[in-house]
């Protein structure tokens, strides 16, 4: 019986228990099992195996609710959990290896068998409850007049558990209904939302510094390539920059904040990942070295897309304060004059003057250059109208495109014509031809300029300039006539 104050379980005999011996190597142990299939083990046998086990009086005091004492045999028993707690103290002694072997043997031959019996008993109890309830269930809804008076719920639709039981095969062992184990159908919306959240958590883990430095650097390389891929979508190669200049300016202006955000993200990811690597052995040396070598990717990503002149032209286009090149008609000299830098709107100004002076066939250009897309568009207007061109003072950079657009291209006696590759003076200088350079080369080639001359013209960078002599320009087909050889009327 159980003591009223201490909770200690004391029995006269073990008639209500199943007692059976079991042997491990050369040791024998007495096992006691109750109706709930809980097991106890004799401390006398356990102490013969593990001599360091405390005395029974000490165990009674420490484990009042998990111990058992049989008066008829004067034997003290410990529960399985209590036995494991006491044997766990053997870690500090040499007997620990033998204790581990014993616990492994006990688990396979006693604990697992008892656990299986307990689960089977619980299943039998649940099946008995199910069978008892099955005799009182009515399948499906029925008219209220036919329903028994004590089962009004039978006239309602079947519940989930009732439908689940109906779907079971009667020839197979019946299972216990568990609503939490029923398969749950996931909609496409919830599935895609879950996957998007997982993807977002994975991407943001790089910016939180949770990935190693080398993996973070690979991610940053992809992030540095991303603005270029976006630019390729916004400005495909087949796009005519001379006619879609507004779209080009807006696309280039949009790319700058995108590149800035990418550069900031690269700097944050690499910095936090490097700080995390400093906590590892030797991380300060190798992590700091790799960080110093890779952090330059952030400014390079931004400077590749930054262009001060594009931003100035975009802002002037938005605010309407951008002053285009000066374009006017001179009826006394019989020509259209273009002077000044080719900023945004210069092509529209030339178009306006040409539409109102269709009889003028000569364009005089004096300009330091400007936006190439404006120059290409203005040059194409001259080509379409089959006009002649002349420069008397100076023609540089994008201005050379307009001069090459004429049918007859005149050079003044003291004029200087300067060539170089496209680019910006505020950013890095490209070592090779850009997409804009290829467009310039294609236009010059379509006007009959030799390939050798084109390569010489596009050899200098944006910060250099090449001014060929007049004879070389005449020989290469860039210029056709001297101003002294002009047609009558000019």
pLDDT tier, 241 (very low <50, low <70, confident <90, very high otherwise): low
Query: Mean pLDDT, to the nearest integer, of 385-403?
Result: 94
Counting residues of the chain whose pLDDT is more than 70, the rounded percentage is 83
Q: Which residue has the higher pLDDT, 22 or 64?
A: 22
- pLDDT at position 272 is 93
- pLDDT at position 331 is 84
Beta-carbon count within 10 A of 30 CB:
19
Q: Can you list the positions of beta strands (E) in 267-355? A: 326-330, 335-339
Q: Which residue has the higher pLDDT, 37 or 163?
A: 37
**CA–CA distance, 120 with 49 (Å, rounded to integer):** 32
- pLDDT at position 442 is 93
Threshold 0.75, pTM exceeds: no
The answer, yes or no, to whether residue 416 has pLDDT greater than 80, is yes
HSE-up (13 A, CA, CB side) for residue 80: 19
- Residue 449's Cβ-count burial label (10 Å; 0-12, 13-18, 19+) is buried
**CA–CA distance, 134 with 138 (Å, rounded to integer):** 8
The answer, yes or no, to whether residue 7 has pLDDT greater than 80, is no
- pLDDT at position 316 is 78
pLDDT tier, 6 (very low <50, low <70, confident <90, very high otherwise): very low
DSSP state of 365: E
Mean pLDDT computed over every residue of the chain:
83
Q: Is the separation of the CB atoms in 236 and 251 below 8 Å?
A: no
b/e map of 355-392 (b: 16 or more CB within 10 Å)? eebeebbbbbbbbebbbbbbbbbbbbbbbeeebbbbbe
The answer, yes or no, to whether residue 304 has pLDDT greater than 60, is yes
The model's pLDDT over 142-151, given as tens digits with 9 standing for 90+, comes to: 555 555 555 4
Q: Is the separation of the CB atoms in 388 and 361 below 8 Å?
A: yes
Counting residues of the chain whose pLDDT is more than 90, the rounded percentage is 38
**Domain extents for the chain?**
9-116, 202-306, 320-485
**Nearest one of 411, 412, 408, 429 to 420, comparing CA atoms:** 429
DSSP 202-266: HHHHHHTT-S-HHHHHHHHHHHHHHHHHHHHHHS-TT--TTT-HHHHHHHHHHHHHHHHHHHHHH
**CA–CA distance, 59 with 133 (Å, rounded to integer):** 46
**CA–CA distance, 148 with 156 (Å, rounded to integer):** 13
pLDDT tier, 155 (very low <50, low <70, confident <90, very high otherwise): very low
- C-alpha distances in Å from residue 290, one per residue of 218, 225, 268, 275, 295: 13, 20, 15, 12, 8
- pLDDT at position 154 is 44
Q: Which residue has the higher pLDDT, 357 or 189?
A: 357
Q: Which CATH superfamily, name and number, covers 320-485?
A: 2-enoyl-CoA Hydratase; Chain A, domain 1 (3.90.226.10)
The answer, yes or no, to whether residue 213 has pLDDT greater than 60, is yes
The answer, yes or no, to whether residue 177 has pLDDT greater than 80, is no
Task: Classify 409 as helix, strand or coil.
Answer: strand
The model's pLDDT over 110-138, given as tens digits with 9 standing for 90+, comes to: 888 888 888 777 766 666 665 555 555 44
- pLDDT at position 398 is 92
Tell me phi and psi for residue 208, to 5 degrees: -90, -5
- pLDDT at position 152 is 46
Place of tokens 């697992």: 112
Query: Mean pLDDT, to the nearest integer, of 189-212?
Result: 90
Tell me phi and psi for residue 212, to 5 degrees: -70, 165
Task: Classify 56 as helix, strand or coil.
Answer: helix
Q: Which of 132-136, 447-451, 460-464 has the lowest mean pLDDT?
A: 132-136
Q: Which of 128-132, 280-284, 435-439 has the lowest mean pLDDT?
A: 128-132
pLDDT tier, 261 (very low <50, low <70, confident <90, very high otherwise): very high
- pLDDT at position 176 is 60
b/e map of 291-329 (b: 16 or more CB within 10 Å)? beebbebbeebbebbbbebbeebbebbeeeebebbebeb
Query: Mean pLDDT, to the nearest integer, of 255-278?
Result: 92
Query: Mean pLDDT, to the nearest integer, of 354-372?
Result: 92
The answer, yes or no, to whether residue 180 has pLDDT greater than 70, is no
Task: Classify 486 as helix, strand or coil.
Answer: coil
pLDDT tier, 258 (very low <50, low <70, confident <90, very high otherwise): very high
The answer, yes or no, to whether residue 5 has pLDDT greater than 50, is no
Q: Is the separation of the CB atoms in 396 and 371 below 8 Å?
A: no
**CA–CA distance, 358 with 300 (Å, rounded to integer):** 49
**CA–CA distance, 299 with 297 (Å, rounded to integer):** 6
Q: Is the separation of the CB atoms in 86 and 76 below 8 Å?
A: no
**CA–CA distance, 228 with 245 (Å, rounded to integer):** 19
Bridge-based pairing of strands 335-339 and 362-366 is: parallel
Residue 253 region by backbone torsions, left for phi larger than 0, else alpha for psi between -120 and 50, else beta: alpha
Query: Mean pLDDT, to the nearest integer, of 256-276?
Result: 93
- pLDDT at position 381 is 94
The answer, yes or no, to whether residue 265 has pLDDT greater than 50, is yes
Query: Mean pLDDT, to the nearest integer, of 48-64?
Result: 87
| Dihedral sign from CA coordinates of 377, 383, 387, 392 | positive
The two three-digit tokens of residue 285, written as one number = 């040396």
Q: Is the separation of the CB atoms in 297 and 342 below 8 Å?
A: no
**CA–CA distance, 93 with 105 (Å, rounded to integer):** 20
């Amino acid at each position: 019986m159980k003591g009223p104050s201490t909770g200690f379980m004391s029995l006269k005999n073990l008639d209500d228990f199943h007692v059976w011996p079991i042997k491990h190597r050369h040791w024998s142990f007495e096992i006691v099992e109750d109706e709930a299939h809980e097991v106890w083990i004799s401390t006398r046998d356990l102490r013969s195996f593990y001599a360091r086990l405390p005395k029974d009086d000490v165990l009674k005091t420490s484990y009042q609710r998990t111990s058992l004492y049989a008066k008829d045999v004067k034997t003290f028993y410990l529960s399985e959990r209590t036995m494991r707690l006491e044997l766990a103290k053997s870690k500090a002694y040499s007997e620990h290896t033998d204790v581990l072997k014993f616990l492994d043997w006990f688990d396979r031959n006693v604990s697992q068998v008892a656990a299986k019996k307990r689960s089977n008993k619980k299943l039998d109890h649940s099946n008995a409850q199910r069978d008892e309830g099955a005799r009182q269930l009515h399948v499906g809804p029925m008219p209220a007049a036919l329903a028994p008076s004590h089962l009004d719920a039978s006239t309602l639709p079947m519940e989930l558990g009732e439908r689940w039981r109906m779907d079971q095969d009667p020839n197979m062992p019946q299972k216990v209904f568990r609503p939490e184990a029923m398969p749950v159908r996931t909609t496409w919306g919830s599935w895609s939302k879950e996957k998007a959240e997982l993807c977002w958590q994975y991407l943001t883990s790089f910016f939180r510094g949770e990935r190693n430095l080398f993996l973070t650097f690979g991610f940053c390389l992809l992030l540095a390539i991303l603005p270029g891929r976006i630019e390729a979508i916004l400005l495909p190669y087949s796009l005519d920059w001379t006619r879609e200049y507004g779209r080009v300016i807006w696309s280039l202006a949009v790319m700058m904040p995108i590149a800035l955000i990418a550069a900031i993200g690269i700097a944050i990811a690499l910095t936090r990942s490097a700080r995390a690597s400093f906590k590892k052995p030797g991380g300060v040396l190798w992590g700091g070295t790799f960080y110093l070598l890779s952090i330059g990717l952030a400014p390079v990503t931004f400077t590749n897309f930054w262009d001060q002149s594009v931003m100035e032209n975009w802002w002037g286009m938005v605010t309407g304060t951008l002053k285009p090149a000066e374009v006017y008609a001179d009826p006394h000299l019989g020509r259209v004059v273009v002077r000044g830098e080719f900023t945004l709107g210069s092509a529209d100004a030339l178009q306006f003057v040409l539409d109102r002076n269709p009889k003028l066939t000569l364009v005089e250009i004096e300009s330091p250059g400007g936006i190439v897309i404006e120059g290409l568009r203005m040059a194409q207007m001259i080509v379409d109208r089959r006009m002649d061109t002349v420069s008397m003072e100076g023609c540089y950079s994008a201005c050379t495109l307009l001069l090459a657009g004429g049918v007859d291209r005149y050079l003044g006696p003291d004029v200087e014509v300067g060539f170089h590759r496209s680019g910006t003076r505020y950013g890095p200088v490209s070592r090779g031809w850009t997409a804009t350079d290829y467009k310039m080369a294609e236009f010059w080639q379509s006007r009959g300029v030799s390939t050798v001359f084109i390569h010489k013209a596009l050899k200098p960078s944006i910060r250099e300039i090449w001014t060929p002599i007049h004879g070389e320009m005449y020989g290469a087909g860039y210029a056709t006539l001297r101003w002294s050889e002009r047609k009558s009327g000019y």
